[in-house]
Amino acid sequence: MVCVQPASLADAETIHQLVTFWADKGDMLHRPLGEVFESIRDFKVAREGGTVMGCAALHILGADIAEVRSLAVREDAQRGGVGAALVASCVEEARALGIERVFALTYRPGFFEKQGFRVADVMEFPQKVWSECVRCPFFTNCKEVAVVMDLARA
């Protein structure tokens, strides 16, 4: 039974290892350990017993918008509903905060579409593009797809 909970500082290294594992395969962007610590309050983990099976972060970018980032599920727990549970928890938190739109930049748009997101133009999220994407080494050759869920309408 998987339980999604706020991450603790003690989870930071496990989160970092999980993200690094998939980032090394080219499935997501790397996050330095220091950045995981800095944003630990954004993170949720899915636990089974004491083991972290997956992680995700909900990062607020403005009064009405937040991003799901660093979503990763252990390789031996794929397709077991962990990713869906993490995204649902992020969406639930965003809704409780009164946030109107939750978006993600992802190489797995099909997964997000199954969770109720729609494919969007990244320029719908200028806060992201002009504060973070511009500093990314892949900015001019970005293969990530923007997806969004409009909570005001959902």
Sites of contact with ligand COA (CB under 6 A): 22, 27-28, 71-73, 78-84, 106-108, 110-111, 114
Residue nearest to ligand COA (CB): 83
Chain position carrying tokens 């999220």: 125
Closer to ligand COA by CB, 59 or 63: give it. Answer: 59
Least separation in angstroms between residue 123's CB and ligand COA is 19
Least separation in angstroms between residue 27's CB and ligand COA is 4
Closer to ligand COA by CB, 63 or 81: give it. Answer: 81
Strands (DSSP E) contained in the chain are: 3-6, 43-48, 51-62, 65-73, 101-106, 118-120, 145-150
Closer to ligand COA by CB, 22 or 93: give it. Answer: 22
CB 67, CB 93: distance < 8 Å = no
DSSP 8-state secondary structure symbol assigned to residue 107: S
In degrees, to the nearest 5, what angle opens at C-alpha 54 toward C-alphas 35 and 24?
60
Least separation in angstroms between residue 24's CB and ligand COA is 11
Per this entry, what is the length of the chain? 154
Closer to ligand COA by CB, 22 or 125: give it. Answer: 22
Using DSSP bridges, classify how beta strands 65-73 and 101-106 pair: parallel, antiparallel or unpaired. Answer: parallel
Least separation in angstroms between residue 64's CB and ligand COA is 22
